[in-house]
A and B are shown apart, each in its own frame.
Chain A
Amino acid sequence: DQQVKQNSPSLSVQEGRISILNCDYTNSMFDYFLWYKKYPAEGPTFLISISSIKDKNEDGRFTVFLNKSAKHLSLHIVPSQPGDSAVYFCAASAGNFNKFYFGSGTKLNVKP
């Protein structure tokens, strides 16, 4: 039973446009969320986080939005660059950092 879901396995965006990656979760106890980026043959790298006390966190071209009532978060990348092409995972934790639940990932392709 997947508690974190990324329903779009892939997304293709033109360079310079906005990329929006979505993530839904089922456990209302989740209170800390992470986004990771993964290139082929490499481990995931941390991108951005948000806690449930906020609804938005911004870091450069990356912004994460959290809608607690909808149990939905999204990652916006603007402007998208070809180097952003990777698999993006969202992850959630409930009350501690011992265990994160990960989605299945969305493969982003940014076309030059």
Chain B
Amino acid sequence: GAGVSQSPSNKVTEKGKDVELRCDPISGHTALYWYRQSLGQGLEFLIYFQGNSAPDKSGLPSDRFSAERTGGSVSTLTIQRTQQEDSAVYLCASTGLSWNYGYTFGSGTRLTVV
């Protein structure tokens, strides 16, 4: 597609439930990133995928968070047993081989855990 697509745009879930957030990167982009922005905070790095290499998971805040990228394209971020502190905007970004223009971000998924 023309841009990075994320779904759903908004998600309200009950504490303790699992959620899946989807990211469809720009076609041909080899690198895919997940960030989140909590209220009043900057963007916090979560995970990075590059081609077929092992992902950099160093930013995942707990083992309740996991992500996968199937076929080098679509990525799913899964949060198990959601907690209220997981409420944030989850942003996905992708980039190609050239770093001249930085990441291209999607519009994000606003997750609210009640």
Contact = CB atoms under 8 A, between A and B. Distances in A.
A100 B59 CA distance: 11
A36 B42 contact: no
A42 B48 contact: no
User: How extensive is the interface on chain B, given as a class?
Assistant: 20 to 34
Interface in A16-45: 34, 36, 41-45
A104 B44 CA distance: 10
A36 B35 CA distance: 14
Contacts of A34: 102
Interface of B: 4, 31, 35, 40-45, 48, 50, 56, 58-59, 91, 93, 95, 99-108
Interface of A: 2, 4, 6, 34, 36, 41-46, 49, 89, 91, 97-105
Given A49-B102, A104-B41, 20 more contacts: A2-B42, A4-B42, A34-B102, A36-B102, A42-B107, A43-B104, A43-B105, A43-B108, A44-B43, A44-B103, A44-B105, A46-B101, A46-B102, A46-B103, A46-B104, A89-B42, A97-B95, A98-B50, A100-B45, A103-B42
